[in-house]
Amino acid sequence: MGIKVVNTDVNGNRRICGQVKWFDPVKGFGFVVADEGGPDILLHANVLRNFGQSSVADGAIIEIVVQETDRGIQATEVFNIEPPSGSSAAALADFEDIDPELIRTAPLEPARVKWFDKGKGFGFANIFGRSEDVFVHVEVLRRSGLADLQPGEAVGLRVIDGKRGRMATEVSAWEAALKLEQS
CATH assignment of the domain containing 46? 2.40.50.140
In this predicted structure, what is the pLDDT of residue 118?
86
Distance, CA of 42 to CA of 168 (rounded, Å): 31
User: Please, what is the average pLDDT of the chain?
Assistant: 83
Residues 65 and 118 in one domain: no
For the whole model, what pTM was predicted? 0.67
Same domain, residue pair 73 and 132: no
Number of domain units in the chain: 2
Q: Name 6's Cβ contacts closer than 8 Å, sequence gap at least 6.
A: 14, 15, 16, 17, 63
Question: Looking at the structure, do residues 34 and 102 belong to the same domain, yes or no?
Answer: no
Q: What pLDDT does residue 180 have?
A: 56
Whether 67 and 101 map to the same domain: the answer is no
**11 lies in the same domain as 78:** yes
User: Which residues of the chain carry a pLDDT beneath 70?
Assistant: 1-12, 85-93, 176-183
Q: Quote the pLDDT of residue 178.
A: 61
Q: Mark whether 66 and 10 lie in a shared domain.
A: yes
Range of the domain at 140: 93-182
Q: Do 76 and 116 fall within a single domain?
A: no
* Closest among 45, 80, 82 to 60, alpha carbons compared: 82
